[in-house]
Structures are given as structure tokens and as C-alpha cells.
Structure 1
Amino acid sequence: MGFSSSFSVISKTCLFLLALFASSASSSPSKDLYYDHCNSIVPKATQTEIDFTDFPLTSLYSNIYYKGGDKIFKRESPGYYQYPKDVTIKPTGNVYKTNVSGVFEFEASLIFRSTVVYESTSNDPNSKNRGNVAFKLRGFWSESYGRLCMVGTGSGYSEEGKLLNLEAVLKLNYMKNSNIYTSLVHGNLESLRLENDENYFDPISVLTFPSMKSYYYTFASGKPGQSQCASGGLDVLKDSLLGLQSSGNGVCSMFSRWMQTFRLDYADECNNTKRDCHPLGGIVESMPQYMSTQTIQCSEDKHRLRFLLHFTNGFYAYDRVFDPNTTLVGEGLWDGEKNQLCVVACRILAPDGSFANASVGDCYYRLSFRFPAKLSIKETSFIQGQIWSNNKVGDFGYFNKIKYRSHDRSFYGVESEISGLKYEYTEMDRIKKLCPPINMMKKKGHSYPEPLSYQMGFSMSIGSSKVKGIWGNAVPLYVGNTFYEQGSQSVTANLETSAAIQNGRLNISYKISLSLPLGTDLGGGLSAQNSSSDILISAEGIYDIETGDLCMVGCRELNSSLQMSSNQTMDCQIAIKLKFPPSNSRRASHIKGNLISTRLISDTLHFEELEISADAYGMFESQLSIWRMDMEIAMVLISNTLAFVFVALQIFYARKHQESHAQISLVMLMVLALGHLIPLVLDFEALFMKQGYHRRFRFEREGWLLPNQVILRVVTMIALFLLLRLLQLTWTTRSADQNQKGLWVADKKVFYVCLPLYLAGGVIALMVHSIHSHYGKAELVPDGFPQAQHSLWDDLKSYAGLVLDGFLLPQIFLNMFFNSREAALSRFFYIGMTAVRLLPHGYDLYRAYKYVNRYDGSYYYANPSADYYSTAWDIIIPCGGLAFAVIIFLQQKFGGRYILPRRFREYQEYEKVPVVSEG
């Protein structure tokens, strides 16, 4: 995000909050308002003391929905981009106990964020966020009755753009100790103005299922292996499924990041009649095609969890408007005897359409979720299961069993959490006939994408002689026997995958999705007559790493009408051939290929041949990355060479100025020596060889990388030896002159000051790491990707880099304690070494602007795991380093205490102790 964009966002937020606090200050609610509107719900009580215990009410910021308040919320309009409705309720300030047991008084903020964002030509910086509405409320919550009532003021904008000063009362039912029936938090936000007032708004009803500290499972209360939905589901052999024993962290780690979409597969008889097929009992006219899940919380015993289930007709997990008629709330318990998660789910009942009167009931839904131990071309779903009714045939709510499976491959994190999942290549005989090995000479100097690299996934345009405008996406599923991490940027081959390469050829499987625009008709069921359509193809084949050829056979899912006409569920007569261009090409290149139906033209499932074209993903980036890595390797060599040159110049300077040489801080020299020693001893190999192993560098840079690796080792060792030599000279000079006792005392003080500072900084770094790790594990990632986090070792290395950036700090302290005017450090040394330490931060700013960030282990200069690198740190650290250099210059010219206020500058000099000579 650019500076102007960041400044715009900050200015908008400041203006909005300023308007909110101004309106709050001008018209804060009086006690009479609470008495008039809330006293009958939660009687007003008197504060007694601040409650420092763990307040039972949690902030509400997810799974929260609202409706109403049309006057103050922007309405949908063509051309607007609409976000899902978002509202946050959280306590602010202190929480007070009162003279009534179980009644608490506190303040809270209530923020409704706009669902509509549009580009405006207005110069008003707030024009894009006028849909936001915020309230500042104060009131009481009764723990025993589970009621909350608060009054307060807020601000928002009308449809005409006028700032509104709002007054409101919030009434919620919020139980501390809850179960599936009482866990629903719901209520109303009502305006305190008259209906004819311009600041009046319609009542807003709120509904949410929050994560609760005191939640008691109703249906998942048995012991693991004693689930209430063990009967009625589809019996599957336990050995064919993965169990919790495959994961060391239990069910919570497997499901805590769960935001997944499942495709519903209805029974064959549902194609002819809809009787006993609709899971929602016909309340919604069309039968849903997808079911999506959203985790609410997982219990600490790692065997139970709660989530919402949304039924939709679209692929996306959540509709923009929450509909209680199409949502279930459920409890799940892991059944270790059957290796499945069993779920009991209930309806959300809102008879009058208002969230304020919603309740939970009709708990006759049963679901099971299973993890297959093997995937194949005909079954690529990580999760399978079914939903059925616990009611009897003919009873209300009964419907036939409906199977479902994870749609596409969006359940990220499964493979990393569960070991033992394998892919079975079942079509290799067909592939060998379709893709025979071709003996051809590899062109010298050409390198093709590594099987596990990000270049293997790409977006493509597809067309035929008659139809254009088809778009698709192709992502590997398994490479050899290794799961392909879509979010990773692997540059080295896995050991297992490398061993699976035979004669340069490797088995590989893909997930391919095609999006057909409206009106497309390619024959064979590849059509989109009434609406756009998505086609999913699973494929497996052989990738030739020496030539860049990818040859596969594919299977596509058939819709219900094609299944009836062809008596088949899948069409596996598909051939896919692709040609990757060299990854080290200096010119823009394209992936070319075709997708062919191998059936006869007369076959009902035959479709037109499709030509595939895709920009070789990362080809331009690869070219830039090659140049960047070459430049970074050179910069590492240059910077380390300059480091030992500047140290050598300091040694020559010390020999010419022996009187001032003893006044160099030993602590500073030790910091510099350790800064060169630790990378050299501990992780220099890891800096170049990820995980200590490499088969082939992505761009075949061994000829350039390996010799320079040796050179860099030598240069670093020379710099270390010179620093140790400088340390020895300083120590020897001090020890030889008994008049230098004052310097020893001053350097001890430096050590006693710097050590606590460094330790305190290390503790802060550990605390920050702990906080980031805690929130990274606790929060659900909306798009299903796990959040990238630095390891503890990486954070400690970054902190060590910060200490090294401020290497002049001990010398500054020594000059202050000893109050010396001697120029102990050569200008070449302290200015040059400062430049060596600070230039990487300037380069990092340039790199962030010039290149796409890739956390793939290919950074050799300004390595993010070896120092603090960000826009803020890249400004703060250079400013601090330059300030230290300026302070050293002033101290060596005007005295060590010149930088202090005058009253602290009194001249104190350590007296030289006379030495009685012998003789």
C-alpha cells in the first residue's frame, strides 16, 4: 500500500472518529435516559469497584448479523461492490462491579461497517465510508438473567450525505452459561428519537453465535467415541479413513481453521422428483447445491467443536445477506471408533423474520465428516460426508441422505495437519500409451520449472475455433508422492519427490477448473446456456523436467442430466498436453497446449478441442528475480568485503594513534565479532541451502552461487579475524598500561548498562513473538489460508540484527563515562561500518517497491529473517544508526559528555595512578 493510500485511510478514520466523539461529548446520555429505557430490563445499580477478574462477556466481531436501519445504511445499487455485513461490539474502558450481585456496569463500542463501497468523484475524504455507523454506549449487564441494556450516542451519514447525530438503546439477550439453545445472542438497537426526526432510524435487529467461555455441549457431551450420530450414517471401513492418531494435535487443529465449501450430491431419484430430497423442508424453493461451514469455537479437550452450516446455490462460502432459514448451528464430536466427526445440527427459527425473536430448535439434522486415506483422479476431495434426518419417513423434517464432498481444494492446512494422506495414480497405463518418452537432446542452458515451484500453478485462457473467452485455473494436487503447497514458494525439490524422478520424468496430478461464460456450447455437456458454469477436471500424468512437457489424462464431473443419458458419473476420456517454456528465458513466454476429448465425434460426451494459452506464471518475475538474486549475492560479497576493509583501516589507524587506541569499547568489538561469528557458525549453510538440501537450484545458478558461497565464507572469516585482532590489540594496549584503570572501570559500566538493555529488548522480542503466535493460532483466517508466522529462532535472529545495527551504542556510553576527547575510532571505521549496516534497509525499501515479495528463502541481502525489515523499521533503524554516528563525531570532537545537558557536563577525569619504577 502506498503512502498516499495509507494517509487517505488514516485521515478517513480520524475524521470519522472525531465526528463520533464530538457527537458523544455534545449529547452524552444522562442517567434519566437509562432509567426511562433500560431500568425495566436491568435495574440501574451503583458502582462499587473495578472488576479485575476475567470479564465473562467477550467481544463480538465474527458470525454476527443484522438487518434493518435502512435510513442510515447505504442501500444496494447496481455498480456498487458489496461486502458482507460486518458489526463489532466490544467493551471499552473499565468494567465495574455494582452493589447488586452479578450486575456489571461498563462502556462498549458498537460499529456497523458499510456493506457498500463505491468510487466517488467527490473531494470529500469521507465519501467512501459514509455507510459506517458507530455508537458509544454505556449500561448494565445482568449475569443471572442474561440481559444487557445500554444507551448512548453515535454518528453516521444519511443517504444524502448529511452527518447524523444518533441516540440509541441496545437490548440484548446474552447468557453467560449457555448451551446450543441459549448460545444465540440476539436483540435490537432502537433509536431514541421520534419517527419524524431526521436523526431517527428504523430498529436494527442483531443476531450472533459468539465463542463463549462457559459453553456446555448439549449433543456432543459424551466421551470421544460415543457420539449420538453413530447410527444412520453411511458405513465406511475405518482403515480407509484417517483418524486423530494421524495428527498430534487432535480435532481442534484439524478444524479450527475450517471455512470450507461442500458440493451436495443428491440421490438419483431426486433428479425425477423432489419429494423427501430438500434438506430445508421446502422453506426455500430451490434445492441448495452447496453447503459451507464456519467454525465458531473448539473445546479445549480437542474433541468437540461448534460451527454454522450455510446452504447456498453459489460456490462462495457465504452469502452477503444472512438468512436464518438457510443456516444451521451444530455441535460436533469426534468418533474415534469410526474415524469421523459426527454432528448434530439445529435450525435457527425466526418466525416473524426478525433476529430479535430468533431461537434454536428442530435439532433433527445429523452429519458426518470423514477424511479419506487415499486420493485418486476420481476422488480428489479431502473431506467427504453426508447429511441426513434423524426423523422417520413421513415425519416433518425427514429427507433422504445427501452425500457431500469438499469442493475444489480450498481446505488448506489439512495435509500439513494430518500425516498419512496419499495419492494413488490409477491411470498410469493409459498415460504411458498417451505420453511415450521422447528421446531428444536437452537444449544447453535451458531450465524448466521445478515440480514443486509456484510456476507449476497458472491461470489460462481457453478457446476453440468457435468459442473464445473461456478462463481456467490449474493447480497441482500431488507432485510425485508430495502434497503441493499452493501457498508455498518452494525453490528446492523435496527428497521424496527427487527420488521419484526417473529419467527426468515425474508423476503429477492436477486440479483444473474452467469457467464457461453465458451462451457457451462446446458439446458433450460443456455448455452454459442459461447462466455461467464451472467445470471441474481432475487430471494425472507425467511431467518431464528436462523438456518442460506435461502430459495428462483427465476426468470431469457430469451433471445429473448427463449421468442419466450416459449412465456414467464421470467422463475420463480427456487428454491434456502442455508445454512449459524455459524458466530462465529472458523473453516473455507462454504455456501452450490443448485439451482434447478422445471420444468419437458421435459420442454424446464428445466436445470440441480446446486450445490452452497461459502466461508462464512468474516468467517476468523470474527474470527480475534472477537479476535480483545475482545483485544480492554481489552486494553480500561487497558489503562483507567493505566490512573487513573498514576494520583493517581501523587497525592501521590504531597503530598510528596508540594513545587513543585503548579507548575503544571492548563491548562494541565483542558485539561486532559475535555478529560475524554467529551467522558463520550456525546458519550460513541454511542461508543458501534451504533445509540443508538441494537437488537443483531453480534457475540453475550453481555456477554462480557455489563459488561465491566459498568466497563469502572466506571474506566473512577474514573480517572476523580482523575484528578479533582489533579486540586483542585494544586489550593488550590497556593491559600494558597500568594507568588505564579508569578505562577498565568505564568499560565495566558500559557492560553493566548494555547487558540489561539487550536482555530487556530480548524479552520484549519474546513477548511480541508470543502475542503474534497466540493471535495467529486463535483467529480464523477468512480465506482459509493459515497465517504466515516467524519462528522464535527467526525473531531472535532479527533482534540480534537490531543489536548489531546499533553497534556504536557501547562506544557512546564509554565516551560518556570516561568523558574522553580522543578520536578513538577512525571516521572510515564508524561511518563505513554504519553504512554497511544501514544500506540493507534502504535496499529493502527499494526491493519492496520494485519486486513482488517472495518469502521463499531466495533473499541473500537484507534477509527478513536476519533483521527487522519493514517500511517503519527501514526508516527508524537508519535514522538511529545515523544519529549514533553523529553522536560519535561530536563526542570525539567536543568531549564524551557534549551531548548531555550542561549541568551533567562537569569534567571528571580518572587520575593516573603513579607507578613506582624498580631500580
Structure 2
Amino acid sequence: MGSNSCSSSSSSSSSKPRKLKFTLIPCLCLLFLFLNVPTTTAAFLRNPFRKPEILYSQHCNDVVPEPHLSSGNVLFSLFDDFLRFEFAFFSGGIGIFNPTAESGISLSFDPSYIQTTASHGVHKFKATLYIRDPLKYSVSRWWHLGSIKFWEEDSAFYVNGYWSESSGKLCMVGSGKNYSKVVLKLNYSKNNTIYGSLIDGTLESLHMENDYNYFEPIVIMGLSQNPNYQYQLVDNVSCFSGERGGRDKNNININLSLSKLDRGVCFIFDVRTSVYELEYWSDCGSVNCNPLGGSIGYLPNWIAFRGVRCDQHSRKVQMLMGFPNPSTGMEFEFPGPNATLIAEGAWDEKDNQFCGVACRILANASVGDCSIGLSLRFPAVLSLRNWRSTVGEIWSKKDVNDSEYFGRIGFQSWERPFDPQGLRYEYTEIEEVRNSCALGEETIRGKGKSYPDGFSLDMGFDMLVRNTEGKVASGFLRPQFVGDVPYVQQDELKSNQSRMLNMSYRIGFTPPPDFRFGTDAIYKFVRISAEGMYDRDTGLLCMIGCRHLDFQLNDQNSIKNGSLDCETRIKVQFPPLHAKQAVIAKGAIESRRSKSDPLYFESLQLSSNSITTTQAKESIWKMKLEITMVVICCGGLIFGVLFRGRCILPKRFRDSTYYWE
């Protein structure tokens, strides 16, 4: 009788040890095989060269007829970049994806093997189509935009097929997760300009509808990565748009030049999504305000930019401009193609701003009308009332009587995607702060104590804001400038600080639905830009703030009102650095208006939601010391080193287990 290599040859023995040995070894063998099944399966699934389980000719011959392969001539990179895409809109796929949850999915197509065939201009391809699993990522909406990602949770389809240069058509068959059989069909344009930027196609399941592996067809609209792309719309582009156009003579000399921007224009418009808040300047009652037209069903609050390609030498960029639905609260996720524009732009060195032209994306995966202008600039001087770090606008080039015309729309952001050189802050309210807060007069309170310096990490914190009804909102208080130096440059001028420091801040908090103050208006987000003085000897910060009154009603004809309430005062008392007990920063946001004024609001109390970094470090040091004492005491117990007296442990660790005579 043949012996199994995984079993013992001494099975005839009846002794207990031999019986255990005989039973254990086969089990270990089975366990080894079991543990290796996922690895083997994963390797098999990830092998793009394995033979498809379905016939190409049965599903693709009507698209690209299957040719005979020629001998050799394997091409590894000639058409890789042309066929590859890293961004794609798509819809469908119920059966793979949760039909009730619209999720942030990314789709990408990655060719890995190319071979010539006997048919001229027809090439054999092997590739992988990646689709991120929506159940493991953030919620988005029905159409999706993503970048190439290689996650273990991705749904990967390994496909083989042929592409025709003359027709631009690609057809592939293969399988994916759980060996689901699929056919992929894509259409590539031979146009190398923006009008040939879109790829359309489908991914279809070849299973019956009642089969476990079946899913509904996925409709794909990808963005071409054609390496031969030619910019067509920006050679003579101008930011001049009329009333508030980019070439405003008052602004030409106060924009940051490209040389001041970290890593150039391509870094500004890289593959990350940058989001800016829209500000409607026109009267929506007389002209259309919606850049997407009336069919979209909502008035956008945000505009999102995402770079598709960039030429650092020519400083030209191709990008997407999306207008997320404000009701979803997902401004960082791109909407579908009906709420997205595709654009080209270039840096204008004369006026130090970015100028571009945007086009509409049509449902048939083609680029439509290109009559939308855009500009974007970075002010070199910030102040209390001119707080925007990034400023831009979009406008329609159509006639005002055209149905697709819309009024000029501005956009801006508090944040910058970089830390430019030459950025300055202009203080305008320091004397008012000095008179309002009487800073520098209180010296007894801070005697013998030390407080954070202006560049300390403790000068900014996440906070809780409480109104007079006891309702609590969460937010932040962040320094922007310490004197003339941006707060992020923390190592500069630390040793040369005076007692009184000029500082500017950005303050924001998100009230819950039942949080009200001032008028009956409900704010989704409260923003305050502030500037003032900080007394290092007492830890007191006092500032004048401008509250941004961005009211927006649900009425489609309403507009944003970008006015400011600069009659706001903010006081913050920072705790001493080496306080014996944990102390947090506390303060108040107050209105300086009379109670009869419509913009008056009751005082809001603010407090840090964490201790200072100094207190945290000291607490960690004390904890380490206590743990060391515990280790010493327990070590003595373990090794029998008993003391004649007690081993005194820190109070928090005193327990009968460790406390002995």
C-alpha cells in the first residue's frame, strides 16, 4: 500500500504518542494546503497572461475581428500611454456595487502587454481594469470620477483582446472577481485635442441575470491620457472678461508671480482635488446664475478642480471643473459629467494669473460648447477684509440673451495648496484692538508664569463653542501670521520676539441644526477672519474679527451675499505652560453692536478641546516615570527580591496585586 508523504509510516503502532503523531501530521499538511489556497488563487487571479475562459470571437468579432498573430514583435510601451486612462466617470454595475449606496469609486485601465498581429494596425492587448469597491470607501453619487489606485479591495478584471488603430475600437474578454466573465468595449478618438479627450465604452457581464456573478452593464466615460495631446484653446486665451475681469488695473501688481509659487503651475493643478467656494455677484432675478443651466436641479455652492495633464515647460494645464450638489455635503467628490466641465488653461505671466477656457461634457461622451472663461490668481497681500488666499472667477462668453448665458461667478478659498514666498499680511485694526482691549496693562496676573510664544503649536487649537442656550458647536482657531511672518514658518524669528505680537487668525465652527445666534438665520458654517495683539507675558489674545455673512436661502433665485460684520471681538486666554493642573484655553466671541442691531448676537463662549502640547509632554513624562516604577516593583516581585519595607507605587497603580509588605 502506497504511503502518503504527509502521513506517518508508523501507523501500526498503538502507543499514544505514535497515534498523536499520525493524526497530527496529516492535519498539518491539510492546514498548509488550506493556508496556501488564497495565495494560489490570488496569484492565479492576478495573472494577466492566463487564457480567457470565454472565446474572443464569440463576443468581439463584430467590433475588432480576431486576426492571426505574427511571430514575435512584442511591444511593451508603444501604445500603453495612449490606451491607458486613470480617470473615469461611470454608472451602473448593480450586482457588484450596493444599489442603494452611491459611493466614491475609482476606475482605471492599465494595459500591460502588447503584441503585433498579422493584420496591419491591429494589436493584441492584455490589461487590467480596476474598480474600487464602494462599500469600503466614502459615499459619493451615481456618476463617479477617480484616479488610478492599487488597493487589495479593488475589483480587478483581467482582460485580453484586440485594438484597431484605424477604427479606435478596443474589445477584450476575460474574468475578474469570483471568476466573473466579462466583455470590455472601448472607443478611442484619433483627435489629439480637447475634443478627442473622452473615451466611451461598457463593461458587461456574460452571465445570466439569475447567476450569482451577474451585474448590470457599467457605462464608462474615461479621460484619455494621449501622450500626443495638443492644447488648442489656450494659445490666445485672455483673462479679460469685462466688468470684473482678470485684467483689473488695480490688481495687476498684487498677484503672486509663478516664481513665488511652490513647484510651479503643475503643483497647483496636480491630481488632487482642490475645492473653492462660489460667490454669486449678479442678480439672479434678472440673469441666469447657474453655470450648468436650469436642468441640473440645484444651484452649486462649490467648484472643484482636478488636473488631468500638465506641461511644466509651456505652463499649460488640462483640468476638470466639477460643481458638486450641495445637498450631499460631498464637495470633495466630483459629480457626474452633466455637472462637470473640461477645460484648458495657461499661466499669464503679464498679470500673474491663470487663464482658461472650459467646455461642456455631453451625454454621448463628446465635448460640447467651449464658451466659458475662467481665471485664478493668488493675492500677494492679505488683510482682515481681503482674506482670500485664492481668488478666481468664471463667466459666460455668450450673449446675455442666449439661453446658456450666466452671470459672472467668483470663487475663493481660505486655504492655499502651497506656501508661497513673498506673501504679506497688512494689519489695519491694531490701534482699535489696543484701545478696545487695553492690552499690556495687566502684568500682575502673568507674574512668575510663562506662556506660549507666537509660533507655538499651542497658539492654534480645535475648539468648542457654546451659545447662551447651552448648545455646543465644534470648530477651530488657527493662526495665519505672526507679525509679518506666516505662522507655518515656525522656526523663524523665534528668538527675536517682543512682548506684544501682532497676529492674524482664521476662526470657523459648524453649528448643529438647533444652534442659533443673532438673527434667526441658521448657518451651515461660521467663518471669522481676525487680527489683533497677543501679550506673551499674560497669555491674553485680543482681536477684532470680520464675520462672513454668506447667507444662502433655498430659493434658486437667491444669491450669496459676501458682506462682512467687522464689529466682532474675540478674546482668548491661553493657559500657563507649566501649570500644576491641566488647564485649557478659554475665551469669548462677542458682538460690539447694540442689541437692537439686526447683526447683534449674544456672547459665545469658546474653549480648547485639548490640553497644551507642553502639558501633554509633561503628562507623558510622568506616565513613563510611573510605568518605570511599576516595572521595578513588579520585577522585584517576579525575581524574589523582596524589600523589608513597602514598594511604593504611583497612586493610580496601587492595587492588592502589586502592593505588598
TM-score, normalised to structure 1's length? 0.57
CA distance in 1, matches of 2:35, 2:368: 44
Higher mean displacement: 586-595 or 339-348: 586-595
More strand by share: 2
| Aligned equivalent of 1:29 | 52
CA distance in 1, matches of 2:175, 2:552: 58
Deviations 1:6-45 (A, max 9, x none): xxxxx99994983683698999426x72112223323333
| Aligned equivalent of 1:139 | 161
CA distance in 1, matches of 2:192, 2:473: 51
| Aligned equivalent of 1:339 | 352
Are the equivalent residues in 1 in contact too, given 2:80–2:111 (CA < 8 A)? Answer: no
Match of 1:536 among 517, 523, 527: 527
Are the equivalent residues in 2 in contact too, given 1:328–1:348 (CA < 8 A)? Answer: yes
Amino acid at match of 1:405: Q
Shift of 1:305: 0.3
User: Does structure 1 residue 281 correspond to structure 2 residue 281?
Assistant: no
Match of 1:428 among 427, 430, 450: 430
| Aligned equivalent of 1:70 | 94
| Aligned equivalent of 1:460 | 463
CA distance in 2, matches of 1:26, 1:104: 15
Residues 172 and 385 of structure 1: CA distance in aligned 2, closer, same or farther (over 3 Å)? same
Match of 1:618 among 609, 613, 618: 613
User: Does structure 1 residue 194 correspond to structure 2 residue 216?
Assistant: no
User: Does structure 1 residue 173 correspond to structure 2 residue 182?
Assistant: no
User: Does structure 1 residue 87 correspond to structure 2 residue 107?
Assistant: yes
Residues 95 and 537 of structure 1: CA distance in aligned 2, closer, same or farther (over 3 Å)? same
Shift of 1:337: 2.4
Deviations 1:318-351 (A, max 9, x none): 465731111111000112222221110111111x
Shift of 1:519: 2.3
| Aligned equivalent of 1:106 | 125
Residues 571 and 25 of structure 1: CA distance in aligned 2, closer, same or farther (over 3 Å)? closer
SS of the aligned residue for 1:57 comes to helix
SS of the aligned residue for 2:431 comes to helix
Residues 324 and 59 of structure 1: CA distance in aligned 2, closer, same or farther (over 3 Å)? same
CA distance in 1, matches of 2:455, 2:591: 28
Are the equivalent residues in 1 in contact too, given 2:503–2:533 (CA < 8 A)? Answer: yes
Residues 575 and 105 of structure 1: CA distance in aligned 2, closer, same or farther (over 3 Å)? same
Match of 1:519 among 514, 520, 532: 514
Shift of 1:53: 4.4
What is the Cα-based RMSD across aligned positions, in Å? 3.5
| Aligned equivalent of 1:364 | 371
User: Does structure 1 residue 262 correspond to structure 2 residue 276?
Assistant: yes
Deviations 1:874-895 (A, max 9, x none): xxxxxxxxxxxxxxxxxxxxxx
* Residues 704-715 of structure 1: pairs in structure 2 closer than 5 A: none
SS of the aligned residue for 2:370 comes to strand
User: Does structure 1 residue 559 correspond to structure 2 residue 550?
Assistant: yes
Amino acid at match of 2:545: G
CA distance in 1, matches of 2:624, 2:386: 41
| Aligned equivalent of 1:599 | 593
* Residues 343-422 of structure 1: pairs in structure 2 closer than 5 A: 343-350=356-363, 357-406=364-413, 408-409=414-415, 411-413=416-418, 415=419, 418-422=420-424
CA distance in 1, matches of 2:200, 2:547: 45
Are the equivalent residues in 2 in contact too, given 1:88–1:112 (CA < 8 A)? Answer: yes
Are the equivalent residues in 2 in contact too, given 1:571–1:605 (CA < 8 A)? Answer: yes
* Residues 754-765 of structure 1: pairs in structure 2 closer than 5 A: none
Deviations 1:392-447 (A, max 9, x none): 111131111112212x32x331x2xx322211111112111122212415757643
Shift of 1:543: 1.6
Are the equivalent residues in 2 in contact too, given 1:266–1:403 (CA < 8 A)? Answer: yes
CA distance in 2, matches of 1:341, 1:317: 26
Are the equivalent residues in 2 in contact too, given 1:390–1:398 (CA < 8 A)? Answer: yes
Amino acid at match of 1:388: W
Are the equivalent residues in 2 in contact too, given 1:116–1:131 (CA < 8 A)? Answer: no
Higher mean displacement: 371-380 or 578-587: 578-587
| Aligned equivalent of 1:312 | 324
SS of the aligned residue for 2:176 comes to strand
CA distance in 1, matches of 2:92, 2:422: 50
Residues 568 and 53 of structure 1: CA distance in aligned 2, closer, same or farther (over 3 Å)? closer
Residues 187 and 438 of structure 1: CA distance in aligned 2, closer, same or farther (over 3 Å)? same
CA distance in 2, matches of 1:14, 1:318: 42
Amino acid at match of 2:543: M
Residues 438 and 629 of structure 1: CA distance in aligned 2, closer, same or farther (over 3 Å)? farther
Amino acid at match of 1:209: L
Shift of 1:474: 1.2
CA distance in 1, matches of 2:35, 2:450: 49
Identity %: 36
CA distance in 2, matches of 1:303, 1:249: 12
* Residues 674-823 of structure 1: pairs in structure 2 closer than 5 A: none
More helix by share: 1
* Residues 893-904 of structure 1: pairs in structure 2 closer than 5 A: none
| Aligned equivalent of 2:60 | 38
SS of the aligned residue for 1:269 comes to coil
Question: Max radius of gyration: which structure?
Answer: 1
CA distance in 1, matches of 2:318, 2:434: 48
CA distance in 2, matches of 1:535, 1:197: 52
* Residues 858-869 of structure 1: pairs in structure 2 closer than 5 A: none
SS of the aligned residue for 1:448 comes to coil
SS of the aligned residue for 1:116 comes to helix
* Residues 13-24 of structure 1: pairs in structure 2 closer than 5 A: 15=38, 18=41, 21=44
| Aligned equivalent of 1:205 | 219
TM-score, normalised to structure 2's length? 0.78
Match of 1:325 among 321, 334, 338: 338
* Structure 2 unmatched runs, 5+: 1-33, 139-150, 627-661
Amino acid at match of 1:466: E
Deviations 1:273-295 (A, max 9, x none): 26322211111122111111111
Higher mean displacement: 570-579 or 234-243: 234-243
Deviations 1:681-701 (A, max 9, x none): xxxxxxxxxxxxxxxxxxxxx
CA distance in 1, matches of 2:382, 2:402: 38
User: Does structure 1 residue 589 correspond to structure 2 residue 583?
Assistant: yes
SS of the aligned residue for 2:565 comes to strand
Shift of 1:63: 3.0
| Aligned equivalent of 1:449 | 452
